[in-house]
Structure 1
C-alpha cells in the first residue's frame, strides 16, 4: 500500500522505496540515514499528526504497521540519537522507540531488522 488510509501517511511499500533511495543517496554523497521505529503509541493517528507537524518537512513519516510508525531522516553527520530524542519529546514516553543509522552500505531489509532488534 502506497498510502495509509487512516493517517494519510506513506505506507509500508512507499517507506521501503524511500529507504532504498535514501541509502543510495547516503552511499553516493557520503551522508547518513536514520530510521526510527515508533511502536505502540497510544493513538497512531494522533502520533502521526504530531510527528508530521513537529519534524522537518524532508523527513518521511510513514505508517509501518498496525501499531507502528516510522521516521526516515537523511542527515550529514552524527548518529540518530538527536532525531530519536526529538521524536520521544513529540510522542511522549509510552511508545517504544528503536532507531538505527546507516552510511548507505546496508541493504534496506538489514536496516529495518537492526532497528527492530534494538
Structure 2
C-alpha cells in the first residue's frame, strides 16, 4: 500500500522506497540517514499529525505497522540521537523509540531490522 488510509502518510511500500532512495543519496553524497521507529502509545493518528507538523518537511514520516510510525531523516553529520529525541518529544507519553543511523552502506530491510533491535 502506497499511502495509509487512516493517517494519509506513506505506507510500508512507499517507506521502503524512500528509505532506499535516501540510502543511495547517502552513499553518493557522503551524507547520513537516520531511521526512527516509534510505537505510538495511544492514537496513531495524533502521533502522525504531531510528527508531520513538528518535523522538517524533507523528512519522511510513514506508517510502518499498525501502531508503528517511521521517520527517515537525511543529514550531513552526527548521529540520530537529536532526531530521536525530537520524535520522542513530539509524540509524548513515553513512546518506544528505536533508531539507527547509516552512511548508506545498508539495505533498507537490514536498517529496519537493526532499528527494531535498538
The structure-2 alpha-carbon separation of the partners of 1:81 and 1:59, relative to structure 1 and needing over 3 Å to count, comes to same
**Is the CA contact (8 Å cut-off) linking 1:41 and 1:68 kept in structure 2?**
no
Unmatched runs of 5 consecutive residues or more in structure 1: none
Cα distance between partner residues in 2 of 1:27 and 1:41: 34
Q: Distance in 2 between matches of 1:39 and 1:69?
A: 6
Cα RMSD of the aligned pairs, angstroms, is 0.7
1:94 deviates by 2.4
**Cα deviation code 1:54-105 (max 9, x no counterpart):** 0000000000100110000000000000000001110114210000000001
1:29 is aligned to 29
In the alignment, is the contact (CA less than 8 A) between 2:40 and 2:47 conserved in 1?
Answer: no
Aligned to 2:62: 62
Q: How does 1:7-86 map to 2 (within 5 A)?
A: 7-86=7-86
Runs of 4+ in 1 over 3 A off after TM superposition: none
Q: What SS does the corresponding residue of 1:47 show, helix, strand or coil? A: helix
Classify the secondary structure of the residue corresponding to 1:33: strand
Structure 2: unaligned runs, 5 residues or longer: none
